[in-house]
């Protein structure tokens, strides 16, 4: 059987509230040459049954995967299991609480076919509040500007300087990425050992950091993804806990080690600047006060 063009990876944990809508947005794509890998990260709610139902009715187009013993190993491990199991030449990540617009895969595949040196393409995502039918999200939806000139190739390591958390432009939504599988394999996928627990907030940024350091990417101003904003998401819970800054500091320390091990001297200076307020808080406050007084 000929492998599909795109392998869609949905790693989920206790996602019964949103999983069906997520899967239906894949089934509704105008590009039809895909496989869907539903990776169960040890769910204890009804999402396991939902995923198994889609898999059973798909004639092998939708596959259900899980860790041995139905273990919960975290988002990175789930995505890596999907990467190892994928057969498509492109990988598309989709979080279980997000949805795609119908032309997402078709448009992005066409872009990567036209730009064979680009390892990834992404655009702008809609921050989606209006999904909430009780009305509290009405009128809040917005699509942020990219913060960079769109519809072009960015060569390494330029994206590291441009995009959050080391740059000022918005970081891409993971659900909006389409990636070449060989590039993802070349950077060893997601870092599942370091980015767990409270540090999980920056697992996407660590993955992108590795990709930005090695491969060209393509950025566009198109919008294909609805990023669902809700209080049960990991990022919302971490912000509420007041531990977001701790996760940010951990990422910068990881980035310092990674750039040193990979001889990325120009980026080491940028990472050191980001770490300065954590290592020398008094000096950082004094510096900021001097700058503000000018």
- Is the model's pTM score more than 0.75? yes
Ranges 84-93, 118-127, 276-285: which has the least confidence: 276-285
Handedness of CA 170, 180, 207, 72 (dihedral sign): positive
Closest C-alpha to 115, from 223, 217, 5, 7 = 217
pLDDT band at 113 (very low <50, low <70, confident <90, very high): very high
Closest C-alpha to 70, from 87, 52, 57, 88 = 52
Q: Check which CATH number belongs to the domain holding 12 and give it.
A: 3.90.550.10
pLDDT at 2: 83
pLDDT at 1: 67
84 has a pLDDT exceeding 60: yes
The range of the structural domain enclosing residue 171 comes to 6-293
Please check whether residue 22 lies inside any domain of the structure.
Answer: yes
Please check whether residue 1 lies inside any domain of the structure.
Answer: no
Please check whether residue 50 lies inside any domain of the structure.
Answer: yes
Closest C-alpha to 274, from 192, 194, 209 = 209
100 has a pLDDT exceeding 90: yes
241 has a pLDDT exceeding 60: no
Ranges 31-45, 124-138, 266-280: which has the least confidence: 124-138
Closest C-alpha to 191, from 236, 238, 250, 242 = 250
Which residues lie below 8 Å from residue 124, measured CB to CB, with a gap of 6+?
143, 144, 145, 146, 170, 221, 222, 223
Please check whether residue 257 lies inside any domain of the structure.
Answer: yes
Contact yes or no for 62/19 (Cβ under 8 A): no
Q: What percent of the chain has pLDDT over 90?
A: 73
Calculate mean pLDDT across residues 265-272. Answer: 88
Q: Provide the mean pLDDT of the chain.
A: 91
pLDDT at 233: 56
pLDDT at 234: 53
pLDDT at 287: 66
4 has a pLDDT exceeding 90: yes
pLDDT band at 190 (very low <50, low <70, confident <90, very high): very high
pLDDT band at 264 (very low <50, low <70, confident <90, very high): confident
What tokens does 262 get? 């990979």
pLDDT at 196: 77
pLDDT band at 132 (very low <50, low <70, confident <90, very high): confident
pLDDT band at 195 (very low <50, low <70, confident <90, very high): confident
Closest C-alpha to 217, from 104, 80, 111, 146 = 111
The total domain count for the chain is: 1
pLDDT band at 244 (very low <50, low <70, confident <90, very high): confident
């Amino acid at each position: 059987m000929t492998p599909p063009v795109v392998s869609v990876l949905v790693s989920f944990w206790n996602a019964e509230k949103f999983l069906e809508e997520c899967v239906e947005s894949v089934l509704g794509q105008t590009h039809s040459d895909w496989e869907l890998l539903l990776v169960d990260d040890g769910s204890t709610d009804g999402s396991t049954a939902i995923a198994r139902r889609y898999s059973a009715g798909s004639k092998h187009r939708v596959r259900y995967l899980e860790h041995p013993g139905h273990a919960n190993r975290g988002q990175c491990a789930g995505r890596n299991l999907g990467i190892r199991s994928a057969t498509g030449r492109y990988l598309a990540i989709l979080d279980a609480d997000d949805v795609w617009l119908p032309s997402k895969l078709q448009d992005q595949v066409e872009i990567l076919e036209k730009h064979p040196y680009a390892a990834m393409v992404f655009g702008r995502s809609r921050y989606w509040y209006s999904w909430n039918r009780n009305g509290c999200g009405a009128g809040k939806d917005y699509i942020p500007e990219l913060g960079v000139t769109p519809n072009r190739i960015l060569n390494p390591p330029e994206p590291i300087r441009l995009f959050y958390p080391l740059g000022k432009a918005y970081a891409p939504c993971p659900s909006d990425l389409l990636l070449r599988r060989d590039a993802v394999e070349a950077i060893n996928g997601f870092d599942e050992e370091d980015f767990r627990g409270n540090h999980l907030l920056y697992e996407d940024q660590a993955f992108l950091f590795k990709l930005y350091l090695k491969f060209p990417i393509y950025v566009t101003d198109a919008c294909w993804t609805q990023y669902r904003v809700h209080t049960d998401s990991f990022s919302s819970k971490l912000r509420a806990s007041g531990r977001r800054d701790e996760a940010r500091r951990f990422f910068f320390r990881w980035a310092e080690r990674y750039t040193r091990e990979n001889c990325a001297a120009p980026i080491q200076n940028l990472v050191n600047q980001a770490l300065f307020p954590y290592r020398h808080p008094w000096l950082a406050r004094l510096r900021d006060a001097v700058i503000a007084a000018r």
